[in-house]
Amino acid sequence: MTSRLQAPHEPTPLSTPRRRTVVKAAATVAVAAPFAAGALPAQAAEPPAFLHGVASGDPLPDGILLWTRVTPIPGATPGSGTGPDTDVHWELAEDKAFTRTVAQGTVTAQAASDHTVKADVRGLRPATDYWFRFTAGSVTSAVGRTRTTPAYDVSAGNVRFGVVSCANYEAGYFSAYRHLAARQDLDAVLHLGDYIYEYASGGYPETDQVLRAQQPAHEILNLADYRLRHGTYKTDADLQAVQARHPVIAIWDDHEVANDAWSGGAENHSPDSEGPYAARVQAAKQAYFEWMPVRPATEGTVYRRIRYGQLADLHLLDLRSFRSQQAGVGSGAVDDPERTITGRAQLDWLKQGLSQSQARWKLVGTSVMISPMAFGSVPAHLLGPLAELLGLPKEGLAVNVDQWDGYTDDRRELLAHLTDHAIEDTVFLTGDIHMAWANDVPVKAATYPFSKSAATEFVVTSVTSDNIDDILGVAPQTVSLVAAGAIKAANRHVKWLDMDSHGYGVLDVTAARTQMDYYVLSDKTDVNASARWARSYRTASGTQRIERVDKPVA
């Protein structure tokens, strides 16, 4: 259930979406202090309890969305549908000691919403840190810290995001989240999708031994399943830490529902044995909106816009709910103008938002890569794992059908809109493919760099999900140097790619440039994995091209 504190005024959004068919953490946050990193206990010692942490998200200049989940009795596990209604009191303060409380309220946690609660707080000051907590009976939650965005008419000096995607619970520990939680310089953490995975235990990657087992053990299909899977992920101490330290801005990709999802089905869904796909989507989306610090959306979508003063507009896309089914390679259907990855309403909304934006930077959060990709002379033995990561058939034909490459007319229309209207400083922020990339986004890839670049793109690698060395079971760079060289030779707009690492990005935006610092983990299977800076790339304002930088921003 959602509670809202009405404010004396509400911010005016840049534009309203036309929806047709729509976190040093230990210093400031008390998160799971008695527990080691990894999974926390699934049962409450005494009721009620806050076992799944606290979070905030979708910041505004005058508002923030607060989230938690209460376990009213030990048996009221996620998805169980059991447990009494429980009043949960929330507080928001200007200090972590809560001597200056600025807002508070009470919301009832009900089984109907899996005992998750949200408070949509308004009337706050722009660009301000706040602390929040929840109380149920005599029990108080961990304390979270959050931050509002700058006022819409302010020229903010800079904004900085942590950027992540693709976190498979069974494939590794969420150390990337821990390192982002330790940072004190982030305005928000942007999660670009695949926050959870739907597969049965040991199903992805296929293995007889998993690093840590998720619940439920079977592939998730119904509402109880999706709730329990979300609940399992949110017992992770590192995930709890990052969501308590920074506000989260999240979109989904396919695994929040099922692999290679499209509007009418998914590769990992069999109607004959798993029931109607629409019922699965409805269950997955209901659980997502219950368990994520995302404002409830109209008609089950996540596309929306968040503005950081006059510095940056963040356009967030939903590239699963409206897309046509992925085309077969070689059919020519990838160029069919009747096929879409965005849906007509969302593409129009994006184009209008880009045209009307008064911000210096137009940031576009997209779950799948927009840059075109050809594979040239990649050796045959590498095409199989590349195909698995990029959504290609095993033959390795040069069409990336689950990305924008499979929907070329939508991409053509969007890039033409950018060039025809002289819209500069557009940067796509992408996840999904378990590799890090730094790309220019050419209008015509075949003639690049002698033709225009319409935008640039930063792709972050996975938090834990398998990449090429994991799939092949070899040491990093055993094969990737050859594959990366071949890909760059065939795609001159690709400035860099890392096919082996796991980690995260830190995006720093100023009026002069947008810079992505790429960080990699020492070992995703080590609960205490370290992180190091690997590379940085930036886009200078007015250039639409990426260049390498020799050090991170901070």
> What is the per-residue DSSP string for 192-239?
-S-SS--SPTTBTTB-SS-SS--SSSSPP-SHHHHHHHHHHHTTBHHH
Residues 6+ apart with CB under 8 A from 88: 68, 70, 106, 107, 108, 109, 117, 134, 135, 136
479 or 391: whose pLDDT is higher? Answer: 479
- Does 227 score more than 90 pLDDT? yes
The pLDDT tens digits for 380-419 are 556 567 666 766 544 334 458 899 999 999 999 999 999 9
**CATH superfamily membership of 2-549:** Alkaline phosphatase D (PhoD) (3.60.21.70)
- Does 313 score more than 90 pLDDT? yes
State the Cα–Cα distance between residues 105 and 135, nearest whole angstrom: 10
- Consecutive H or E run containing 281: helix 277-291
- Consecutive H or E run containing 380: helix 380-390
- Does 157 score more than 60 pLDDT? yes
Tell me the CA end-to-end span of the chain in Å, nearest whole number: 39
Structure pTM? 0.89
Could you tell me how far CA 389 lies from the centroid of its own chain?
18
Average pLDDT rounded to a whole number, residues 70-87: 97
- Does 158 score more than 70 pLDDT? yes
- Does 19 score more than 70 pLDDT? no
Average pLDDT rounded to a whole number, residues 22-30: 28
Domain ranges of the chain: 2-549
Average pLDDT rounded to a whole number, residues 442-468: 94
Residues 6+ apart with CB under 8 A from 173: 37, 38, 211, 212, 236, 238, 464, 524, 525, 526, 527, 529
State the Cα–Cα distance between residues 415 and 421, nearest whole angstrom: 10
The pLDDT tens digits for 40-60 are 444 444 679 999 999 999 999
Share of the chain above pLDDT 90, in %: 78
> Residue 351: what residue type?
K
Q: 293, 90 in Cβ contact below 8 A?
A: no
Residue 446: band (very low, low, confident or very high) from pLDDT cuts 50, 70, 90: confident
- Does 439 score more than 60 pLDDT? yes
